[in-house]
Amino acid sequence: MDIPEIQQFLAQHELDGWLMADFHGRNEIAMKMLKLKGIITRRSFYYIPALGTPVALVHNIEKDKFENVPGEFITYSSYAVLEDKLSRLLSDSRKVAMEYSARGRLPYIGLVDAGTVEFIRGLGVDVVSSADLVAYFQARLSAEQVARHRQAAANAMSIKDKVFAFVADRLKKDKTITEYDICRFILRKFDELNMETHDSPICGVDANAGNPHYEPTAERSATVRKGQLLLVDLWGKMKHPDGVFADITWMAYTGRKNEIPDKYRTLFDTVMRARDAAVTFLEENAGKGPVYGCDVDDVCRKVIAEAGYGENFTHRTGHSITSAAHGTGPNIDNLETEDKRQLQSGHLFSIEPGIYLPDCGFRSEINVLFGSDGCEITTLPLQTEIIALF
367 has a pLDDT exceeding 80: yes
CATH of domain 3-138: 3.40.350.10
- Residue 320 φ/ψ, nearest 5 degrees: -65, 145
Interatomic CA distance for residues 326 and 80, integer angstroms:
38
Identify the residue with better confidence: 107 or 226: 226
Can you tell me the mean pLDDT for 273-301?
A: 95
User: CATH classification of 143-388 is 3.90.230.10, yes or no?
Assistant: yes
DSSP string for residues in 98-115: ES--GGGS-TTT--S-HH
pLDDT digits (tens, 9 = 90+) for 46-69: 999 999 999 999 999 999 999 899
Adjacency order of strands within the sheet including 55-59: 72-76, 55-59, 44-49, 17-22, 95-98, 126-129
pLDDT at 376: 96
Q: What is the pLDDT of residues 10-33, one digit of tens each?
A: 999 999 999 999 999 999 999 999
Which SS3 state, helix, strand or coil, does residue 313 take?
A: coil
Task: Decide if pLDDT at 373 tops 90.
Answer: no
Please write the tens of the pLDDT for every residue from 155-168. 999 999 999 999 99
Looking at residue 341, the DSSP 8-state letter turns out to be: P
CB 189 within 8 A of CB 159: yes
- 1 band by pLDDT with thresholds 50, 70 and 90: confident
Sheet holding 348-351, edge to edge: 348-351, 366-371, 374-377
Q: What CA–CA distances, in Å, run from 126 to 89, 130, 219, 338?
A: 15, 12, 52, 22
Mean pLDDT over residues 91-109, rounded?
Answer: 93
Q: Is the pLDDT of residue 39 over 90?
A: no
d(CA 239, CA 191): 9
228 within 8 A of 361, measured Cβ to Cβ? no
Using 50, 70 and 90 to split pLDDT, how confident is the model at 134?
Answer: very high
Nearest to 334 by CA among 292, 370, 304, 373: 292
Average pLDDT over residues 129-135: 95
How far apart, in whole angstroms, are the C-alpha atoms of residue 104 and residue 110?
Answer: 7
What is the average pLDDT value for the chain, to the nearest integer?
Answer: 95
Residue 93 confidence class, pLDDT cut points 50, 70, 90: very high
**Cα separation of 228 and 231, whole Å?**
10
Instruction: Tell me which H or E stretch contains 76.
Output: strand 72-76
Residues 30 and 47 sit within 8 Å (Cβ to Cβ): no
Count the Cβ atoms, other than its own, within 10 Å of residue 370. 23
- Give CA 348 to chain center in angstroms: 9
Residue range 307-353, pLDDT digits in tens = 999 999 999 999 999 999 999 999 999 999 999 999 999 999 999 99
Cβ-based neighbour number of residue 298 at 10 Å: 17
pLDDT score for 131: 95
Q: With pLDDT > 70 as the criterion, what percentage of the chain qualifies?
A: 100
Give dist(CA 352, CA 365) in Å, integer. Answer: 4
Position 175: which residue type?
K
**Predicted local confidence at residue 147, as pLDDT:** 96
Domain chopping of the chain, boundaries: 3-138, 143-388
Could you check whether 3-138 and 143-388 share the same CATH topology?
no
pLDDT score of 228 more than 90: yes
